[in-house]
Structure 1
Amino acid sequence: MKIAHIEVIEAAIPFDDGGSGLGITPGRWDSLEFVLVRVETDTGLVGWGECFAYSCRAAVAAAARGMVAPLLQGRELPATPEALTLELQRRLHLFGRYGITMFAISGFDIALWDIAAKSQDKPLHALLGGARRSEMPAYASLVRYGDAELVQKYCREAVAQGYRYIKLHEIEPDILRAGRAASGPGIGLSVDVNCAWSTEQARERIAVLREVDAMWVEEPVFPPEDIRTQAQLNSTFPLGAGENACTRHEFARMLEAGAVRFAQPSVIKVGGVTEFVAVAALAEAQGVSVMPHSPYFGPGYFATLQLGAGLAGEPLFEHLYVKPAADLAEGGTPLPVRGVVRIPQVPGHGFVPDAQVLARYRI
């Protein structure tokens, strides 16, 4: 079975989060940007992948088209794509092991795993060693509002919808307290700072995190690769990190340093399914929980569910708590219901785009 055709597709779907869209990304964030990878074999099988593209769509698409696709066109496909993905990493390492290059490789790896599972008529999780669960509890991952009233509004809304876990992206103590007050004492609360605090602020605000009974604090300081400081903070309060880490090697350093209690690989950033599986194995060996990073609505969402099926412990699924203008998935994305999301049991990872939606929002 050979790769017969590759297509890299760009799209953007607006969304509403009830806020200003300001606070984390370089500009106003009000659309979901996609770089989709479509790989078709000479037998007619089609695999879909997704490269991380928020605020960097054009650059990632250029890397996917100009750097990765030419290395795969016409290639014979092995039973599973690990060796082929690692070959891509070796041949492209001069252009950066992390960031844009790895985002592009991630999308192709996801598509190749989709093909591999479809060729054996199995859900992806079955190809990866089987499932520990058929559904995952999800947490409502709120955007950063910077407004106590909005945080309270959406925390109450999420709880009313049945979520038992919520993540705040707030950085001010009073807003964190407002989030806890609105959620109530029985809701698991985590806090993602997105590297906004200085080391001194992080140390000071551990008291606030304890006060609001946070499950973990995510990436409290800049830069995200400062694992020495993360390890110091992790010794005093549970820390999560990894959405900005690429490959198993960055995670190995993080784990060896004792820098996290919750490892958070992102399948469309880390190097795809191949690297995610390797990271999960390292974390399990170290007794560290994996909490996947997945604020996505394309193949990355579906691939994360498949990977979550086999994770050790009690992983949670991150659901970005926004309202897209359209659902990109044919037949609909399996959204959380009463705080729980079901894992697709079809061959592959389960994502196929809705042709009409893709045509409307394609760039």
Structure 2
Amino acid sequence: MKINAIDVIELVIPFDDGGRGMGITPGRWDSVDSVLIRIETDTGLVGWGDCFSYVCRTATAAAARDMIRPMLLGRELDATPEKLNHELQKRLHIFGRYGVTLFAISGFDIALWDIAAQHAGKPLHALLGQAWRDQVEAYASLVRYADVELVQHFCRQAVQQGYRNIKLHEIDPEVIRAARRASGPEVGISVDVNCAWDAEQARERLAVMREIDAAWLEEPVFPPEDFETLAALNAEFALGAGENACTRHEFRKMMQAGAVRYPQPSVIKVGGVSEFMAVAHEAQEHGLSVMPHSPYFGPGYFATLHLAAVLHGAPLFEHLYVTLEGDLAQGGTPLPVDGRVTIPQTPGLGFIPDPAILQRYRIA
């Protein structure tokens, strides 16, 4: 089986989150930027991948087109996706072990796994290990509102829709407390501050985390690779971290340092399915529970669902709590219903893009 064609597709799909879209990205965040990878083989199989590209879409697309596409176009698929992933990382290491290089590799890796699973006639999770579930509990991952009334409104709305878990991206203690009051005592709450605090501030805010009975505090300090500080905080309160880490090697350092209770690889950033599964195996050896990072849609969303099927413990699926202007998946994305998402069972990822949506939101 040979790779006949590779397309790198840039998309921008607007969304509404009910807020101002300010606080996390450099400017207003009101759209999902995507770089999709489409790989077609000479047997007619088509695999789809997803590269992380929020705010960095043009750079990620350039890495995919200029560095990776030339190395894979025309290749015989006589090696596993893991081996091809390793080859790409080795040949491109001088261009970065973090950031856009790994984001681009992630997309190609996902597409190659999609092809491998379709070729086997099995859903992706069947190639990855024992499936422990056909549905996964989801949490509503709210954007940062920085507003008491807004966060209370959307917490109540999520609970009414059946979510039993919510993630905040707030940094103000009063807004965080308001979210707990609105959600009620039975709903699980985690708090991701996106590296907003220094070590002293984070230690002081642990009291707020205990007060609201948070499930975990996510990426409390900058820089995210300050494992020494994270380990000290993790000894006092459960931390989640890893959305900014690439490859199994960085996660190994994190876990060996005792810096995290809940490792959080993102399949479209960490290095794809191959690296995600390596992190999952490492986490299991350390007795830690993986909580995938997945605030995106498209092939990465579908891949995360398959990964959730084989994770040990009780993983939660992160669902970005926004309303997209268009659904990229033909037949519809499997969204949470009463707080749970059904894992696809068709061969491959189960993702096929809607041609009309692809055409409407594609960037030339």
TM-score with structure 1 length normalisation?
0.99
SS in 1 for 2:216: strand
Aligned equivalent of 1:118: 118
Residue aligning to 1:106? 106
SS in 1 for 2:90: helix
Q: Which amino acid aligns with 2:231?
A: A
Query: Counterpart of 1:307 in structure 2: which amino acid?
Result: L
Aligned counterparts of 1:216 and 1:79: Cα–Cα separation in 2: 39
Q: Deviations over 1:159-182 (max 9, x none)?
A: 000000000000011011000000
CA contact (8 A) 1:4 1:74 kept: yes
1:152 corresponds to which letter in structure 2? Q
Separation in 2, partners of 1:257, 1:83: 28
Question: Is 2:254 aligned against 1:222?
Answer: no
CA shift, 1:34, in A, is 0.5
What is the CA–CA distance in structure 2 between the aligned matches of 1:236 and 1:22, rounded to whole Å?
31
Q: 2:248 & 2:33 partners in 1: Cα distance?
A: 26
Are 2:39 and 1:39 aligned? yes
Q: Distance in 1 between matches of 2:228 and 2:351?
A: 39
Is 1:252 the counterpart of 2:245? The answer is no
Deviations 1:235-261 (A, max 9, x none): 000000000000000000000000000
| Matched position secondary structure for 2:229 | helix
Displacement of 1:130 in angstroms is 2.8
Name the aligned partner's letter for residue 184 of structure 1. Answer: G
- Rounded to whole Å, the distance in 1 between the matches of 2:207 and 2:30 is 33
2:78 and 2:238 map into 1 onto residues whose CA distance is 40
Secondary structure of 2:156's counterpart equals: helix
Are residue 172 (structure 1) and residue 155 (structure 2) matched? Answer: no
Q: Does the alignment pair 1:91 with 2:91? A: yes
Partner secondary structure for residue 338 of structure 1: coil
> Which sections of structure 2, spanning at least 5 residues, go unmatched?
none
Specify the alignment match of 1:137 in structure 2. 137
Distance 2:266 2:350 in 1: 18
1:22 aligns with 2:22: yes
Match of 1:209 in 2: 209
Measure the CA separation in 2 of the matches of 1:143 and 1:153: 13
Q: Secondary structure at the match of 2:258?
A: coil
Deviations 1:203-224 (A, max 9, x none): 0010000000000000000000
Query: Secondary structure in 1 aligned to 2:334?
Result: coil
Partner residue, 1:65: 65
Task: Give how far 1:76 is off.
Answer: 1.1
Q: 2:280 is matched with which residue?
A: 280
Secondary structure of the corresponding residue to residue 309 of structure 1: helix
Q: Which residue of 1 aligns with 2:266?
A: 266
Q: Structure 2 length normalisation: TM-score?
A: 0.99
Are the equivalent residues in 2 in contact too, given 1:79–1:116 (CA < 8 A)?
no
Is the contact between residue 139 and residue 167 of structure 1 (CA under 8 Å) also seen in structure 2? yes
Distance 2:240 2:227 in 1: 11
Distance 1:51 1:328 in 2: 15
Name 2:188's counterpart in structure 1. Answer: 188
In structure 1, what is the Cα distance between the partners aligned to 2:281 and 2:202? 30
Structure 1, unaligned stretches of length 5 or more?
A: none
Matched length: 363
Aligned-pair CA distance for 1:107: 0.1
Question: Is the 8 Å Cα contact of residues 139 and 164 (structure 1) preserved in structure 2?
Answer: yes
Identity of aligned residues (%): 71
1-side partners of 2:79 and 2:312: how far apart? 25
Partner of 1:332: 332
Q: Counterpart in 2 of 1:48? A: 48
The equivalent of 1:362 in structure 2 is 362
Instruction: Report the Cα distance in structure 2 between the residues aligned to 1:128 and 1:271, rounded to whole angstroms.
Output: 16
Q: Deviations over 1:144-192 (max 9, x none)?
A: 0000110000000000000000000000110110000000000000000
State the Cα distance separating 1:350 from its structure 2 match: 1.0
Structure 2 counterpart of 1:198, which letter? D
User: In structure 1, what is the Cα distance between the partners aligned to 2:289 and 2:150?
Assistant: 31
Q: Aligned equivalents of 1:189 and 1:205: distance in 2?
A: 15
Give 4+ residue runs of structure 1 displaced > 2 Å after superposition: none
Q: What secondary structure is seen at the aligned counterpart in 2 of 1:82?
A: helix
Aligned-partner Cα distance in 1 for 2:165–2:344: 22
Deviation at 1:227, TM superposition (A): 0.7
* 1:300 match: secondary structure: helix
Counterpart in the other structure of 1:12 = 12
1:302 is aligned to 302
In 2, distance between residues paired with 1:349 and 1:78? 20
Compute the RMSD of aligned alpha carbons.
Answer: 0.6
- Which letter does structure 2 place at the counterpart of 1:347? P
Structure 1: distance between partners of 2:294 and 2:79: 27
What is the Cα deviation at residue 79 of structure 1? 5.9
Question: Whole-Å Cα distance in 1 between the matches of residues 135 and 75 of structure 2?
Answer: 35
Superposed displacement of residue 80, structure 1: 2.9
Partner residue, 1:242: 242
Q: CA 1:337/1:79 → structure 2, altered by over 3 Å: closer, same or farther?
A: farther
| Residue type of the alignment partner of 1:108 | F
Q: Deviations over 1:84-132 (max 9, x none)?
A: 1100000000000111100000000000000000000000000112301
1:306-338: CA deviations, max 9, x gaps?
A: 000000000000000000001000000000000
Partner of 2:154: 154
